[in-house]
A and B are shown apart, each in its own frame.
Chain A
Amino acid sequence: MTALLQVDDLRVHFGPAGAPGTVKAVDGISFSVERGRTLGLVGESGCGKSTTGYAILQLVRPTTGRVLYGGTDLCRADATALRRLRRKLQIIFQDAHASLNPRMPIGDLVGEALDIHGLYKGRARAGRIHELLDLVGLAGHLIERYPHELSGGQAQRVAICRALAVEPELIVCDEPVSALDVSIQAQIVNLLQDLQERLGLTYIFISHDLSVVRHMSDQVAVMYLGKIVEMAGKNEIYAAPAHPYTKALMSAIPVPDPDSEAQRQRVILAGDLPNPANPPSGCRFRTRCPIAIEACAATDPPPHDISTSHWAKCIRLAEGR
């Protein structure tokens, strides 16, 4: 099966090249996503997961690297070509209210997406807007409402509706459910899954919540300070996380069951994320790693294969740890 999207050695650096203080928000990551599948990108604040999402869509221009979409390198596409391609590549943000123009009613917000790409002109437009609202589970009468009249869950449905209006193939979902109550979160998660099934969508699902990512993804990549430290199929990574950071992250997720909570071994990481403008040498996780040794400071660890579909960047894995 061929990949719909392939990312090669992608780097996004902020600040003058080579100067001290340059923040390497994304620093050499590669992955591919097959059509109709979901890649989960997880990590804590500041790990570069959102910047990766923006860089794929060229909302921030990558410093180096390639983003291949159907044979075209998006990093080299000019503004006109990008505008055309963006019809196929959409994004949904965490704060739906902030991403909707407060002065436009819902119908116009959805219609605007159609107008920009010249879709469903004339009499077909109104019908299509109703069809789209229906697709995301919004009642037709909301068409004349304004964003401030909507709840968080409804606003996120409108944002999803706008993304779907242009019939995209790939949607970058940047923490789409993080701001919502659990009950509403579950509604949106189910909606995203239904839409994927019906429309064959491909998702890059960015979240700090490993439970939601487990639910949504086929493949999972764990990021720490601009790099992917571990990548695997969903079942493998949740059953047997290999990288010490992934292990710590998983152990920190509380489980809604007091009995298993009482038995779980929790790895409490000391301290906070290091300053990304001045990351540790060698393995970037070593300053908080419970199993770091001296050699970890020397080299950036290469990927260690655990199986054909699972790798992690930790030199201690070779010792059989």
Chain B
Amino acid sequence: MALLAIRNLRTRFATDRGTVRAVDGVSFDLAEGEVLGLVGESGSGKSVTALSVMRLVPEPPGQVTADSMSFDGIDLLRLSEAQAREVRGASMAMVFQDPMRSLNPVLSIGRQLVEVLQRHQKLDRPAARRRAIELLEMVGIPLAEKRLAAYPHQFSGGMRQRVMIAIALSCNPRLLIADEATTALDVTIQAQIVDLVKRLTRERGTSVIWISHDLGVVANLCDRVNVMYAGRIVESAPIRDLFHRPSHGYTLGLLGSTPRIDGPALRRLSPIEGLPPNLIDPLPLCPFLPRCRVSVAACRERAPERRDLGREHWASCFAELNQRTP
């Protein structure tokens, strides 16, 4: 059974100019121990999907609805604010892009870790302190015991992100959501963090939702990928299928835009021209149509339906792309 099951999630925000459909009918399952990638550009709804799952969307101005959204047998849609707070931290945790904004600058690292452990794990102070040291060691902070007294500004960006991960893991969550968690870090530090996340899923069976626009990291880390565009999932595939048989015009565009360190040096990238779509008055057609290079006649007549491509791979796209060789 899936740890997380989402059906037809819609998250909207009321603004002066109209209702923004940030997430517009998203459905997916996440299995125990699975690492799911959510990729797409800014404004595609990746983060809002994650925040909706965490029940962190402020309502109003937001409005989160779904046919169903369950996590570990809990109906996430019916949680009160207090109940949601118990679930967050204890069984699902989230790491954001900028650790400096998530950590309290005037409290020591130790205090912030111990606070979580006391609150959710009901440990007493000395036990919480011992556990905090263990956690910092686990995420690779040297001299962990001494570092408990340090403040966030005394840590480098990579170390702060490791502290955030330590806090997120402190209560052994079943689900870890990482929202562009390595985007602001240098590549050598990113490699350390990715390594750590892999170890966690292997050793503890933690499920992970990895939100990123970096297809390289996703290829390295994830088991399956949902590609998002304009608040919808436009393609979903096991990791190898996505890269070998990209089946949506947008996925193709993303791959063509990504410069690579391997393979022959290309003279030109093939960018996705134009700008992301307006989420207030979406087209009744495929939202990617105005920027698509592979559109066909049907794209201008009706909205594409989800097309099953076998092996748990589907895409909402009319174009018959010729990369369809396994």
Distance of A253 Cα from B194 Cα, bound (Å): 12
Contact for B240 among A44, A185, A208, A258, CB less than 8 A: A258
Q: Which of A209, A210, A253 has the most CB of B within 10 A?
A: A253
A208-B187, A215-B259 known; A272+B265 contact, CB < 8 A: no
Interface residue? B282 (CB, 8 A):
no
| Stretch of A13-21, A25-33, A140-148, A176-184 at the chain-chain interface | A176-184
Interface residue? B273 (CB, 8 A):
yes
Contact for A186 among B217, B271, B275, CB less than 8 A: B271
Check if A272 sits within 8 Å of B191, measured CB to CB.
Answer: no
Contact for A256 among B142, B258, B270, CB less than 8 A: B258
| Stretch of B14-22, B66-74, B109-117, B249-257 at the chain-chain interface | B249-257
Q: Which residues of chain A in 252-272 are interfacial with respect to chain B, using CB atoms and an 8 Å cutoff?
A: 252-261, 266, 268-269, 271-272
Residue of B nearest to A238 (CB): B261
Interface residues on A, range: 35 or more
List residues of chain B with CB within 8 A of the CB of A44: 186-189
Residue of B nearest to A153 (CB): B275
Contact for A183 among B186, B214, B217, B272, CB less than 8 A: B272
| Stretch of B47-55, B156-164, B307-315 at the chain-chain interface | B156-164
Distance of A184 Cα from B40 Cα, bound (Å): 12
Interface residue? A248 (CB, 8 A):
yes
Check if A272 sits within 8 Å of B259, measured CB to CB.
Answer: no
Check if B213 sits within 8 Å of A255, measured CB to CB.
Answer: no
Check if A190 sits within 8 Å of B156, measured CB to CB.
Answer: no
Interface residue? A196 (CB, 8 A):
no
Check if A210 sits within 8 Å of B262, measured CB to CB.
Answer: no
Interface residue? A58 (CB, 8 A):
no
Check if B243 sits within 8 Å of A249, measured CB to CB.
Answer: no
Interface residue? B190 (CB, 8 A):
yes
Q: Which residues of chain B in 138-194 are interfacial with respect to chain A, using CB atoms and an 8 Å cutoff?
A: 142, 156-159, 186-192, 194
Distance of A103 Cα from B243 Cα, bound (Å): 45
List residues of chain A with CB within 8 A of the CB of B188: 44, 248-249, 252, 268-269
List residues of chain B with CB within 8 A of the CB of A271: 142
Distance of A257 Cα from B260 Cα, bound (Å): 10
Interface residue? B268 (CB, 8 A):
yes
Interface residue? B26 (CB, 8 A):
no
Contact for B269 among A190, A260, A268, CB less than 8 A: A190
Check if B186 sits within 8 Å of A210, measured CB to CB.
Answer: no
Interface residue? B323 (CB, 8 A):
no
Chain A 173-213 interface mask (CB, 8 Å, partner B; 1/0): 00000000111111101100100000000000000111110
List residues of chain A with CB within 8 A of the CB of B254: 182-183
Residue of A nearest to B238 (CB): A258
Q: How would you classify the secondary structure of chain A's contact residues: helix, strand, loop or mixed?
A: helix
List residues of chain A with CB within 8 A of the CB of B215: 182, 256
Distance of A153 Cα from B43 Cα, bound (Å): 14
Chain A 227-260 interface mask (CB, 8 Å, partner B; 1/0): 0000000110010000000001111111111111
Distance of A208 Cα from B266 Cα, bound (Å): 19
List residues of chain B with CB within 8 A of the CB of A185: 257, 271
List residues of chain B with CB within 8 A of the CB of A260: 262
List residues of chain B with CB within 8 A of the CB of A186: 256-259, 269-272
List residues of chain A with CB within 8 A of the CB of B157: 45
Interface residues on B, range: 35 or more
Contact for B265 among A45, A153, A193, A215, CB less than 8 A: A215
Contact for A235 among B258, B262, B265, CB less than 8 A: B265
List residues of chain B with CB within 8 A of the CB of A3: none
Check if B213 sits within 8 Å of A182, measured CB to CB.
Answer: yes
List residues of chain B with CB within 8 A of the CB of A45: 157, 186
Check if B257 sits within 8 Å of A254, measured CB to CB.
Answer: no
Check if B214 sits within 8 Å of A254, measured CB to CB.
Answer: yes
List residues of chain A with CB within 8 A of the CB of B217: 254
List residues of chain B with CB within 8 A of the CB of A152: 42
Interface residue? A99 (CB, 8 A):
no
List residues of chain B with CB within 8 A of the CB of A254: 190, 194, 214, 216-217, 219-220
Check if A252 sits within 8 Å of B266, measured CB to CB.
Answer: no
List residues of chain A with CB within 8 A of the CB of B190: 252, 254
Residue of A nearest to B269 (CB): A186
Chain A min CB distance to B261 (Å): 5
Chain B min CB distance to A246 (Å): 11
Interface residue? B239 (CB, 8 A):
yes
A193-B268, A234-B265, A249-B187 known; A187+B273 contact, CB < 8 A: yes
List residues of chain A with CB within 8 A of the CB of B243: 256-259
Distance of A229 Cα from B320 Cα, bound (Å): 48
Chain A min CB distance to B178 (Å): 15
Give 9 nearest A-B pairs by CB, closest first: A254-B216, A186-B271, A183-B272, A186-B257, A256-B215, A44-B186, A186-B269, A181-B41, A252-B191
Q: A45-B186, A269-B192, A272-B189 are in contact. List 8 more A-B contacts (CB 8 A).
A: A181-B42, A183-B41, A183-B253, A235-B265, A251-B191, A255-B216, A255-B260, A272-B156
